[in-house]
Each structure stands twice: as structure tokens, then as C-alpha cells.
Amino acid sequence: MNRQGMSIVVTAVLALLAGAGCVSTGGGSQIGGKEAAQANLQLGVAYLRQNNLPIAKEKLERARDQDSRSSAVHSALALLYEKLGDNSRADAEHRTALNLAPKDPEIQNNYAAYLCGKGRYGEGVERFDEAAANPLYRTPWAAYTNAGVCLRRAGSEGDAAQRFNKALAARPSYVEAIVQLADLELAQNKALAAYQHVEQFMMRNPPSAELLLLGWRAASALSDRPNIERLARRLQTEFPNTEQARAVAGARGSSG
């Protein structure tokens, strides 16, 4: 298992947009331009989440026509055009959203994810770092982790590990950061470091199936039979119906 593929979260902006406020059209009242744009934004984001792209496009483009100064509308349109494979329009919408709200960390994070996904790693990491440093950003550990994933894809493994450690310093219980760090260490043949990081994390925080699997992989690389068996039992007891438990059961069956 290799987690070098992008796990950068771009749907965070969808959640932000969807929570931007609902507009009531009841009572026969007429909705103004900005309120109508907000209503169409809500609908567009809902359809985007359902992957109903034609209706999402209709609603979001109507919202842009009603309020062209809304950074939220442009950010949602950027996500839509990404899904449609229209990269030039997606990039333009990301930039418009940033021009309208240059200090909005969610929009910075979203554009950074787009840049990294397109192989523009340096630009993407710079945007993630800006978002993480923004005092208004509620989850800087997510931006640091995303920056680490981006750096790993770019082949900058030392800088990637540094970002994962920054994420854990900002939020020691953030499981995605320790998963990314341990997976990187395993790829670097640093099984002992990976095992120690996983165990230290699980002493203070609940495990995930993926984290237990990483611990099991590290113990296997170290030929540490007692801990191989212990972690396999934990996986099959605590997460019995998961892909990770099945992977361990299959590996044990084939070696037996």
C-alpha cells in the first residue's frame, strides 16, 4: 500500500460553501440578486456533491451571473470545472476567487490542492503554507499534511516529513498526518521509525484501521513476530470488516 497518491482534501471547501447559509423563498417575498445567488450556490454545491454536473453547472453559473463578486461562487465553479476536465476555466475561477478573497485560507487550500493535482507542486506547497500560517484558518494541520503529500509527490521526501511533523505539532491527534508520515518512512525503509511513530501515537489516541495496518507492515519488515500477531489480532477484532483486516488475513493465509 502506498499513499503517495493525493489525499489532499478539496471537499472541505464544499462543506464550507454548503454551510454558508440557507435562503428562504417562502412567504412570497422576492429575493434580491445576492440572495438569489446564495440560493443557487447552495443548490449548485448540493448537486456537485451528488456528481450531478449538468444541473450543478446550471445553478453555479446562474449564481455567478447574479453575484459576480462572490468568492464562494467562483471557488465552487472552479471545483465544477475541475470535475468537467476544463482546466483553463478551473484555474481562472480559482484565481478570481483568490483575487476577491486573497486572505481566505479555505480558498487558498482549495487552489493549492488544484495546483498539486496538476503537478504544479511548488506553487501548491506555497499556497498550502500560506493557508496554514493564516490565523483565521481553523485546521492548519490539514494544510500542513496536504503540503506534505504534495512535496512527496514532487520527490521532496525530507520536506514532506517536515510538514507531517508540523501537522502533528499543531494537532497531535491528527491521524492522517501520522499515517502519511509512517507510510513515507516505510517507503524509505525506515521500518523502526515508522513502528515507533505508530505505537507512540496509539498510546495517546484511538487507532484507525489504516494506522494498525501500517504498524503491522512495520512490524513485519522488522520480523517482530509478537507484534505482528498482536497488531493483526487488533485489526481483526477492532476493524473486522475492513479492507485492511482482509489484507492482513490474506497475507497471513498465504504465508501459512
**26: pLDDT strictly greater than 50:** no
Q: Residue range 197-208: average pLDDT?
A: 96
In this prediction, residue 11 has a pLDDT band, given cuts at 50, 70 and 90, of: very low
pLDDT value at 18 more than 60: no
Q: Domains in the chain, please, with CATH?
A: 1-167 (1.25.40.10), 189-256 (no CATH)
Predicted local distance difference test score (pLDDT) of residue 251: 82
**pLDDT tens per residue, range 116-139:** 999 999 999 999 999 999 998 899
What local confidence, expressed as pLDDT, does residue 256 receive?
54
Contacts of 200 (CB under 8 A, 6+ apart): none
pLDDT of 230 above 70:
yes
**What is the value of pTM for the model shown?**
0.82
Return d(Cα 6, Cα 152) in angstroms, integer: 10
pLDDT at position 136 is: 87
Indicate if the pLDDT at residue 25 is higher than 80: no
Report the pLDDT averaged over residues 39-48: 95
Quick one: pLDDT at residue 22?
A: 38
Q: 164, 199, 196: which is closest to 181 by C-alpha?
A: 164
pLDDT of 254 reads 66
Rounded to whole angstroms, the Cα distance separating 140 from 146 reads 10
- Looking at per-residue pLDDT, the higher value among 106 and 88 belongs to 88
